[in-house]
A = this chain, B = another copy of it.
Amino acid sequence: MRKVDPEKHAAKRRLILDAAITCFARKGFHGTSTAEICAKAGMSPGNLFHYFPTKHTIIAAIVEEERQETAEIFRKLGEAEDLFAALLGFMDTILELAGDPTYSSLALEIAAEAMRDERIGTLAAANDAELQGALAALLRGAASRNQIDRTVDADGAARWIAAIIDGIFSRVAVDPGFKPKNEGAMLRLLLTRFLRPQG
């Protein structure tokens, strides 16, 4: 009796997901045919559908993967000494990610699809809740150490920081003059003035 080799299985899934990410970013979820993903991944539809029963499960897996990556980033971040600096560092990471058009496209595509497909909407909302929760925890920690203004509501501020993150990815789509790596200074100014202890 033959068994599934989990490593090989995972590697094949990776191959498909990477191909799909490239395609979805370039042509959108609905604009990409499964045949295109097959071609990019170098396999037949029979093979592709062996690993993912529907096209929908492919994008769902991509969204779930992003959730894990975000959680990983925050796990490291919480250990920092200066938590406001940690927040600024996180925002630099976001700007770096936004510099990759594939990533920005994908973020937008997922947001757009979240409004159309309830299943993707639920997954995206879970990702967002986790991001906001982590941001709020960071802000609360920073407030308790007087690294930021204690009077600002952490949950409300976290929500607006999340909005700014969304905005960064949208900028890449509609503003050809927006170069993420040149925008760090103004972003830090914005966040510092918003959050620093008020004299």
Contact = CB atoms under 8 A, between A and B. Distances in A.
Interface of A: 25-28, 30-31, 101, 104-105, 108-109, 111-116, 121, 124-125, 127-129, 132, 152-153, 156-157, 159-160, 162-178, 183, 186-187, 189-190, 193-194, 198-199
B171 A116 contact: no
A110 B116 CA distance: 14
Number of chain copies forming the complex? 2
Q: Which 5 A-B pairs have the closest CB atoms?
A: A167-B167, A166-B170, A163-B167, A30-B30, A166-B167
A170 B30 CA distance: 19
Contacts of A114: 173-174
Given A170-B170, A186-B156, A175 B112 contact: no
Nearest to A31: B30
B174 A125 contact: yes
Contact of A170 (B25, B27, B160, B163): B163
A112 B169 CA distance: 10
Nearest to A171: B163
